[in-house]
A and B are shown apart, each in its own frame.
Chain A
Amino acid sequence: MGKQYRTLGGTVFDIFNYTFLGVFALVTVIPFLYVIAGSFASDAELTQRAFFLIPSTFSMAGYQYIFSSDTLFQSLGVSVFITVSGTLVNLFFTVTMAYPLAKRSLMGRSTVLNLIVFSMLFGGGMIPTYLVIKSLGMLDSFWALTLPGAISAFNLIVIKNFFEQLPPGLEESARIDGCTEIGVLWRIVLPLSKPVLATFALFYAVGHWNSFFQALLYINDPEKWPMQVMLRQIVMLSQSSIGDSGMLDPNFVQPPEQTIKMAVIVIATLPILCVYPFLQKHFAKGVLIGSIK
């Protein structure tokens, strides 16, 4: 930005600005840090000390409870299963559709693309979609959490655009060597697209890990609830002052205490925090691709 004349006003502004941004950034992360600290503290400390980032009484009781409770452990498993299988389903459906659509000479290509764009604009809405899922017999099955969101139209279009930019020469030579289209996709295109596919896999995976609404709609059996639904049950519905508490699953004998609530929040957050550094490398680019389109 070139040379800048130092003025008093400028310096005052800089001091204010750096401080303000620092405080703002702290405010965004301190709730997470407090919850992590609280999850390792004893319940007594939580009610006595108003705020701390390092617990004075270290306790693993919250985590012990989570891993000893069948319901919670099971829902953790459900979340992991849905995240892994859902992401594989996403990648399979998105890639197999994006690849043919990247071929400009494919007959019917623009019709299909128009259908996709239209589906981004208008949808049947909650009830008709629910009835379709119901009539397919998918209620209370993990299919309802993976198949209905198998393709994100937006991701599909970005991946299609990426495939279009790959050098055609490599594919040609593979075809001359007798590769079928599926062979070309598997042996040439996919290896070339690894970084892009890894990025979208992460985005899809975060989506699955975080998804709550689908499970709320389609899964009634508490044994099949993912972590996010469980988190809501434990943290938000266990409050006696709130009207919905009647919905609390009767399997919960013991009303969970603050430490347990915090530990459940941490468990539900942890995977995202672990993949965040990897995500962060890619997302700005992804967002910008989106905004240019």
Chain B
Amino acid sequence: MEHTGVQKKAKAVTKVSADGSVLRRLQRDKWLYVLLLPGLLYFLIFKYVPMWGVLLAFKNYQPFLGFWESEWVGFEHFRQFFANPDFGRLMRNTLLLSLYNLIFFFPAPIVLALLLNEVRVSVYKRAIQTLVYVPHFMSLVIVASITYVFLTTEGGIINLLLEKFTGQKIDFLSSPDWFRPMIILQTIWKECGWGTIIFLAALAGVDAEQYEAAIVDGASRWRQLWHITLPSIQSTIVILLILRLGDVLDNGFEQIYLMSNALNRDVADVFDTYVYMMGITQGAFSYSTAVGLFKSVIGVTLVLSSNYLAKRFGQSGIY
């Protein structure tokens, strides 16, 4: 009896002091909470309200009825989308672009970093680095505009040169055959230099003594590359590769949108541009929300599982 009484009392005391400390802490940090408020509101309004807005995908949104009054339709929009021939086309375009990116763009920064790493004249190396980083900071509109100015059949310099030497012009900009190579080349041009940073950092971490030992053993530079350099950056390469697999559905809206036109639309349309076209320009809000939701659910699953894989590979993942 006495025992339980003491216990109760003790509980009551801790409760009171806990409450007291909560209030005290709130009181002590009140200005911090005031500071936190704008940021918190930002995340609630511009990040979390749209997350709820995703429910539109399961409704038949009518602007004049509003979000709450519009009728629920369940998975109707998803059913429509999967039955639509657009679905296969979008999937194909998206995956092909990602595949080409993986094959042609992904190795490019690695090769460039390895070559840069072999440069012993540090002034030269730094000059090259300074130049190849530049396009990363340009907007995609600028990059696309330069592409247009260079490739247009109406006085673009590439076509002027082509005409001079072959007598023919190629309409790169509206030809479906040229769309994918153009996108990949653009990406390589814009981001290849920038992509070297992470590999150069990994290369800088390689123990110099290993090279010295290898040289003493008579290893050629090719052998050094094969037996020391590549194995040392192997884990970085694998992690980045796995993480890249996480966003195969993301082709980058702006680039595709800017380079697509009425004539190459068949190969250019991807999920994001389709969402924009159906939703913003044609006003099919619920349907395009469903398309967007489909894409982001698959996307999140891919990102999380590839991140899990990256962690399993013995490195710290990103999340």
Chain A neighbourhood of B296, CB < 8 A: 122-123, 125
Q: Which of B81-89, B98-106, B258-266 contacts A (4 or more CB under 8 A)?
A: B258-266
Minimum CB distance partner of B293 in chain A: A125
Chain A neighbourhood of B174, CB < 8 A: 241-242
Q: With an 8 A cutoff between CB atoms, is B227 at the interface?
A: no
Q: Which of A87-112 contact B (CB under 8 A)?
A: 92-94, 96-97, 99-101, 103, 105-107, 112
Chain A neighbourhood of B34, CB < 8 A: 182
Chain A neighbourhood of B280, CB < 8 A: 126-127, 130, 217
Q: With an 8 A cutoff between CB atoms, is A121 at the interface?
A: yes
Cα distance A242–B171 in the bound complex, in angstroms = 11
| Inter-subunit contact A206/B29 (CB<8 Å) | no
Chain A neighbourhood of B52, CB < 8 A: 124, 128
Cα distance A293–B155 in the bound complex, in angstroms = 48
| Inter-subunit contact B35/A97 (CB<8 Å) | yes
Q: Which of A43-51, A57-65, A66-74, A193-201 contacts B (4 or more CB under 8 A)?
A: A43-51
Q: With an 8 A cutoff between CB atoms, is B13 at the interface?
A: no
> Which residue from B36, B45, B275, B319 sits with its C-beta under 8 Å from A101?
B36
| Inter-subunit contact B42/A93 (CB<8 Å) | yes
Chain A neighbourhood of B220, CB < 8 A: 7, 9-10
> Which residue from A7, A181, A242 sits with its C-beta under 8 Å from B261?
A242
| Inter-subunit contact B318/A293 (CB<8 Å) | yes
| Inter-subunit contact A182/B35 (CB<8 Å) | yes
> Which residue from B135, B142, B263, B292 sits with its C-beta under 8 Å from A28?
B135
The interface size of chain A toward B, counting residues with CB under 8 Å, comes to: 106
Q: With an 8 A cutoff between CB atoms, is A188 at the interface?
A: no
Given contacts A123-B47, A127-B292, A242-B262, contact A103 B53 (CB under 8 A): no
Q: Which of B20-46 contact A (CB under 8 A)?
A: 22, 25-26, 29, 31-36, 38-40, 42-43, 45-46
> How far in angstroms is the closest Cβ of chain B from A89?
10
Q: With an 8 A cutoff between CB atoms, is A25 at the interface?
A: yes
Q: With an 8 A cutoff between CB atoms, is B149 at the interface?
A: yes
Given contacts A213-B254, A236-B148, contact A269 B142 (CB under 8 A): yes
| Inter-subunit contact A150/B42 (CB<8 Å) | yes
Chain B neighbourhood of A180, CB < 8 A: 31
Given contacts A2-B208, A210-B139, A212-B140, contact A236 B215 (CB under 8 A): no
Q: Which of A229-250 contact B (CB under 8 A)?
A: 229, 231-232, 235-236, 239, 241-244
| Inter-subunit contact A276/B134 (CB<8 Å) | yes
| Inter-subunit contact B50/A129 (CB<8 Å) | yes
| Inter-subunit contact B215/A131 (CB<8 Å) | no
Digit string of A250-293 for contact with B (CB within 8 Å is 1, else 0)? 00000000100110110011001100100110011001100101
Cα distance A1–B222 in the bound complex, in angstroms = 15
| Inter-subunit contact A265/B133 (CB<8 Å) | no
> How far in angstroms is the closest Cβ of chain A from B155?
5
Chain A neighbourhood of B16, CB < 8 A: none
> Which residue from A103, A217, A239, A276 sits with its C-beta under 8 Å from B32?
A103
Given contacts A232-B258, A279-B137, contact A51 B157 (CB under 8 A): yes
| Inter-subunit contact A265/B142 (CB<8 Å) | yes
Cα distance A182–B146 in the bound complex, in angstroms = 47
> How far in angstroms is the closest Cβ of chain B from A203?
10
| Inter-subunit contact B221/A132 (CB<8 Å) | no
Cα distance A107–B145 in the bound complex, in angstroms = 50
Q: With an 8 A cutoff between CB atoms, is B304 at the interface?
A: yes
> Which residue from A112, A128, A272, A279 sits with its C-beta under 8 Å from B138?
A272
| Inter-subunit contact B142/A231 (CB<8 Å) | yes
Q: With an 8 A cutoff between CB atoms, is A174 at the interface?
A: no
16 A/B residue pairs, CB under 8 Å, sorted by A: A5-B215, A18-B124, A24-B132, A28-B189, A51-B160, A93-B42, A97-B42, A103-B32, A124-B50, A126-B279, A128-B50, A150-B46, A228-B139, A228-B141, A265-B146, A288-B201
Residues in A lying within 8 Å of B, measured CB to CB: 1-5, 7, 9-10, 13-14, 17-18, 20-22, 24-29, 31-32, 34-35, 38, 46-47, 50-51, 92-94, 96-97, 99-101, 103, 105-107, 112, 115-117, 119-132, 136, 147-148, 150-151, 156, 180-182, 185, 206, 209-213, 217, 228-229, 231-232, 235-236, 239, 241-244, 258, 261-262, 264-265, 268-269, 272-273, 276, 279-280, 283-284, 287-288, 291, 293
